[in-house]
Structure 1
């Protein structure tokens, strides 16, 4: 028996398919393959007699290298109400400091903005503890940081 546990992060959202595609682009992940025996998710859902209006109830993305956690997206009826208590930090400038770090974060913020993210705030470096970061929101308003 091992003490190691895997972790999955779940996002409540209105459009699981679109949000999964967004996060796949952010992280270099891919949408999870359909189950064995099916060439597409549509084929699987049809075979399982899932009504078409439920086909976008859930989606997931996975790290192609098998290292990072799976992200699961599930449709919920209510919209986002308040600030996230837990949020992802996208490590967009590892090993960089000062102006080089902030320039790398700005470039990533611009790329993600083109994918539908919204820039919320920029925090300047404040040594010794804060290296500087940019707060963003995904297309459904879930906050995350470019770190």
Structure 2
């Protein structure tokens, strides 16, 4: 008998809160309430030793369906292509020009948030079009 396990997706980054808030805008996620005993996230941050301040941040799917996203500060910058990336599914069920128009509209919205458009992967015999992008710290993702 198989069991269903919850999981989170963890991002290494330089500025956890900034990247988390970007992904909240992309996915419609929310910042959870601060830890128990703190009125605000600022209160929590100020309570931490200086070396731990701003070292992580998280966001969640308000519906509870999607995974929690966790962002942790690391000292090194991104130097190679991601081995794992998110596909942001905005064109599901759409084909051809209608799909492309939907992808382009979402791409425009995300570029305004600081994302970078990398390239369009046009439809072929097996796959529909998608747009390769980067988040505000250069992590690749696809609009699919």
TM-score interval, smaller chain: over 0.9
1:61-103 CA-partner distances (Å, limit 9, x unpaired): 1000100000000000000010001000000111111000011
Provide the C-alpha distance between the structure 1 equivalents of 2:31 and 2:54, rounded to a whole number of angstroms: 13
Count of residues in correspondence between the two structures: 144
- Pick aligned residue for 2:74 from 73, 76, 80: 76
Unaligned runs of 5+ in 2: none
Which segments of 5 or more consecutive residues in structure 1 lack a partner in the other structure? Answer: none
2:125 matched to 1:123?
Answer: no
The runs of 4+ residues in structure 1 deviating greater than 3 Å are: none
Normalised TM-score (structure 2): 0.94
Equivalent residue, structure 2, for 1:33? 33
What is the RMSD of the two structures over their aligned residues, measured on CA atoms? 1.5
Q: Measure the CA separation in 2 of the matches of 1:138 and 1:99.
A: 25
| Residues 30-69 of structure 1 mapped to structure 2, 5 A cutoff | 30-46=30-46, 49-52=47-50, 54-69=52-67
Report the 3-state secondary structure (helix = DSSP H, G, I; strand = E; otherwise coil) of the residue aligned with 2:123.
coil
Contact kept in structure 1, 2:32 and 2:60, CA below 8 Å: yes
Q: In the TM superposition, what whole-angstrom CA distance separates every residue of 1:7-30 from its partner, at most 9, and x where no partner exists? A: 100000000010000000000001
Cα deviation for residue 55 of structure 1 reads 2.2
Please report the TM-score for the alignment, with normalisation by the length of structure 1. Answer: 0.92
Q: Deviations over 1:89-140 (max 9, x none)?
A: 000111111000011000000000000000001011113x211100000010
Residues 15-51 of structure 1: CA deviation (Å, up to 9, x unaligned) = 00100000000000011221233221222344xx413
